[in-house]
Amino acid sequence: MTDLLSGLNPQQRDAVTVDGSPALVLAGPGSGKTRVLTHRVAWLIQAQEVVPHRIMAVTFTNKAAREMRHRIEELLGGRLRGLEIGTFHAICARILRREADFIPLGPDYVIYDTPDQLSLVKQALADLNMDDKRFPPTRMHNMISRAKNELIEPELYRSESYFAEAAGRVYERYMELLVANNAADFDDLLMRTALLLAENAAVRERYQRRYDHVLVDEFQDTNMAQYSLLRDLGSGHRNVFCVGDPDQSIYGWRGADYRNVQRFEENFTGAETILLEQNYRSTQVILDVAMAVIDKAPGRKKKKLFTDREGGPNVTLYESYDERDEAQFVVETIAGLVATAEANPGDCAVMYRTNAQSRALEDAFLRAGLPYKLVGAIRFYQRREIKDLIAYLRVVYNPNDSVSLNRIINVPTRGIGQKTLGNLKIWAEKRSGTLWEALDALARGEDSPFTGRALNALRGFAQMVRGWREVARELSVPEVLDLVIDETGFHDALDDGTEEGAERWENVVELRNVAAEYEGLNLETFLEEVALVSDVDNLPDDADAPTLLTLHSAKGLEFPLVFIVGLEEGLLPHQRSFDEPDGIDEERRLLYVGMTRAQDRLFLLYAFRRTVWGDNAISLPSRFLDDIPEELLSGNVPLRSERTTPAWADYKRAITWESDAAPPQKAAQTTTYRPGQRVSHAKFGEGVVIESRVTAGEEEVSVAFEESGLKRLIASMAPMQILD
């Protein structure tokens, strides 16, 4: 039996052994909060003799849940049975299936992902005869989602504006459609569970008795619904243990509210607050840089993080020419450090603000012939062919899921076009039944307005689905998949001889492999797993290759070497954050989260110009860079005091000036280069000037290089020798 408390510092030990009162652990990055959580669960089981199934532990990702279970099992030296551990969404999904009697859904409800949700919002708009140009489905969906996260039901949704009033009507119809489809969206999982516990005393008390202890990780990123759930679960025994860090709150856009930390202190009076300030991850230099950035956040409770990893190499700040150059620097640096055995490829992570930025990086890795691991981007389960097959499985499981039914009724094409489908919907409405009920009636030979080809196509499809439903219970998930693929001619329709077709078929094979791993599990469990997996969940940790991921998905992870790219105005902070109330601050915290992932080395990069939407634009270094003391930086960017031709400093003034005063005039009015001149560039070699003009105060030269083709360069950035 291991001593659970040895090897913990005094604060960690206090946290692990909190007894008989609620606890709030404010844990800085790298302060061992995962350790505290796992040791506490183990301590409860071992020292307090709490039965595992009376403990609920909530994590932020499924991967974190798996790892935590694994670590606790290691600590206790045995398998844990019954410990309830998972994300809020996963735990709620299970509760709702069990308590389906109390909600307007059957226990066989399906979970809709974002695209499903969006198509249902469009349907709601259509039903209400509302124009989707004036009421964009994404915005409507956003407002609905926000309401749900705040536990506001349609009938309570009050409008302050015309637009919000419209959203309220869409919300109401959207909910009706979800119920009709026997479906729940992500937000429903939380809202329905939270409301059930809040409104039904019997159910609430049952769950209060069921769990003696509730532990929550990443507490700063909980929303109202999640908090309400937590309060109701914990109000009896008050054994609620929350771990979080307001400085790492980065999910405000999804309804997370770090003020839940204050609410917790109010609702759970007498809660013990424990600060974990010692960082065991990063060097002092990295920590100082990160703290310099976060300290500028307004209205923040200052925490003093410290580490015994004194000093460390300076943080590298690199200004690249464009996103290609940026990616190349990353790849070359990694390759260099690997060559000198200073790092393993798997020690490195490259982080960015938007998924779109991964492209340039992937290109550079591919060109260098180096493998990499990519989190997110085109998510596997979002690929068309995968979604199609999942939709088939969902229809087999729950044929009243009309979103899935609509998706596959003519995929692969089987002669059921817009017109026939429209008629089918009209007929279904006339019979006041669902789409599937109409199809089912057709298959049974009921009289219908359909004749000829349309009738045959519809009946054939319906009979095929009926056939699957009859045998599905006897078959494993991969067997059902095989049946669907076989009878629909999915392979031939997909693998059309093109490279893309072959790739899509590969994905189908991969899905079948995934399904095969669920051998023994039923369709219900498979569909639920698939609906709730996140990208980080699928991160393979065996491959020794650099990881490419967004700053958001980097939360909770750590790497010896971290590159953060695209530190530019408009990207980080992102353009879309500018008009959000807490927007810029959240961007700042996002950068802080990224920086504090690094253990040994941190590289910060920005590009002088970047292609955005196929347009090449000059970019400005991120304002956050200004907050970093220069003595902690090295790289290719001159000190602020020594900059002689800092092109961007003037742009910055031009863009950030507040008054109506004209932006400062720049020196460059005439061009140094003329069309037809032969020039030589250090990197691109020799070429001929095609054009040269002054844009935004900078001379922009287009040169046709013999080796490297046509380039557009900024004269002051990339000086060239004139050869004639």
Partner DNA sequence: GGCTCATATTTTTTT
Partner DNA sequence: AATATGAGCC
Binding site residues, DNA, CB under 7 A:
61, 87, 89-90, 113-114, 136, 186-187, 250, 253-254, 353-356, 376, 410, 413-420, 453-454, 532, 534-537, 550, 552-553, 574, 576-577, 580, 611, 613-614
Report the distance separating Cα 646 and Cα 637, nearest Å: 10
Whether 140 contacts 121, CB under 8 Å: yes
Give the H or E element holding residue 707.
none
Q: How far is the CB of 613 from DNA (least distance, A)?
A: 5
Report the distance separating Cα 529 and Cα 110, nearest Å: 11
Q: Please, which residue, 362 or 482, has the CB nearer to DNA? A: 362
Q: Please, which residue, 417 or 449, has the CB nearer to DNA? A: 417
Task: Return phi, psi of residue 245, to 5°.
Answer: -150, 105
Whether 708 contacts 719, CB under 8 Å: no
Q: How far is the CB of 147 from DNA (least distance, A)?
A: 14
Active site residues per annotation: 33-34, 217-218, 248, 597
Q: Which of 627, 530, 625, 580 lies closest to 250, judged by CA?
A: 580
What 3-state class would DSSP assign to 534?
A: coil
Q: How far is the CB of 266 from DNA (least distance, A)?
A: 26
Q: How far is the CB of 89 from DNA (least distance, A)?
A: 4
Whether 703 contacts 721, CB under 8 Å: no
Q: Which of 93, 33, 73, 228 lies closest to 527, judged by CA?
A: 93
Whether 605 contacts 563, CB under 8 Å: yes
Q: Please, which residue, 161 or 413, has the CB nearer to DNA? A: 413
Whether 217 contacts 37, CB under 8 Å: yes
Read off the tokens for 566. Answer: 């695209």
Whether 330 contacts 563, CB under 8 Å: yes
Q: How far is the CB of 534 from DNA (least distance, A)?
A: 2
Q: Is 686 exposed, middle or buried (0-12, 13-18, 19+ CB in 10 A)?
A: middle
Q: How far is the CB of 138 from DNA (least distance, A)?
A: 7
Q: Please, which residue, 445 or 581, has the CB nearer to DNA? A: 581
Q: How far is the CB of 471 from DNA (least distance, A)?
A: 27
Locate tokens 């971290």: which residue? 562
Query: What number of other Cβ atoms are within 10 A of residue 622's Cβ?
Result: 24
Q: How far is the CB of 66 from DNA (least distance, A)?
A: 13
Phi-psi group of 603: left, alpha or beta (phi > 0 → left; psi -120 to 50 → alpha; rest → beta): beta
Got the DSSP string for 139-151?
Answer: HHHHHHHHHHHTT
Whether 412 contacts 493, CB under 8 Å: yes
Q: Please, which residue, 213 or 353, has the CB nearer to DNA? A: 353
Q: Please, which residue, 15 or 462, has the CB nearer to DNA? A: 462
Please list, in sequence order, all residues whose beta carbon lies within 8 angstroms of the beta carbon of residue 101, skipping any fewer than 6 positions away: none
Q: Please, which residue, 666 or 712, has the CB nearer to DNA? A: 712
Question: Which residue type sits at 539?
Answer: L
Q: How far is the CB of 86 from DNA (least distance, A)?
A: 9
Q: How far is the CB of 644 from DNA (least distance, A)?
A: 33
Q: Which residues of 438-477 are buried (b: 16+ CB within 10 A; e: fewer)?
A: bbbbbbeeeebebeeebeebbbebbebbeebeeebeeebb
C-alpha to C-alpha distances, 188 to 96, 103, 611, nearest whole angstrom: 10, 11, 39
Q: How far is the CB of 563 from DNA (least distance, A)?
A: 17
C-alpha to C-alpha distances, 114 to 103, 224, 387, 554, nearest whole angstrom: 22, 20, 12, 21
Q: Please, which residue, 461 or 505, has the CB nearer to DNA? A: 461
Q: Please, which residue, 16 or 530, has the CB nearer to DNA? A: 530
Q: How far is the CB of 581 from DNA (least distance, A)?
A: 11
Provide the angle, in degrees to the nearest 10, between the axes of the packed helices 224-234 and 88-98: 60
Q: Which residues of 590-617 are buried (b: 16+ CB within 10 A; e: fewer)?
A: bbbbbbbbbbbbbbbbbbbbbeeeeeee
Query: What number of other Cβ atoms are within 10 A of residue 402's Cβ?
Result: 23
Q: Please, which residue, 118 or 370, has the CB nearer to DNA? A: 118
Q: Please, which residue, 332 or 496, has the CB nearer to DNA? A: 496
Q: Please, which residue, 99 or 322, has the CB nearer to DNA? A: 322
Q: Please, which residue, 16 or 465, has the CB nearer to DNA? A: 465
What 3-state class would DSSP assign to 108?
A: coil
Q: Which of 221, 206, 185, 602 lies closest to 401, judged by CA?
A: 185
Report the distance separating Cα 306 and Cα 644, nearest Å: 37
Locate tokens 């929550």: which residue? 216
Q: How far is the CB of 189 from DNA (least distance, A)?
A: 8
What 3-state class would DSSP assign to 607?
A: strand
C-alpha to C-alpha distances, 463 to 335, 443, 481, nearest whole angstrom: 58, 6, 17
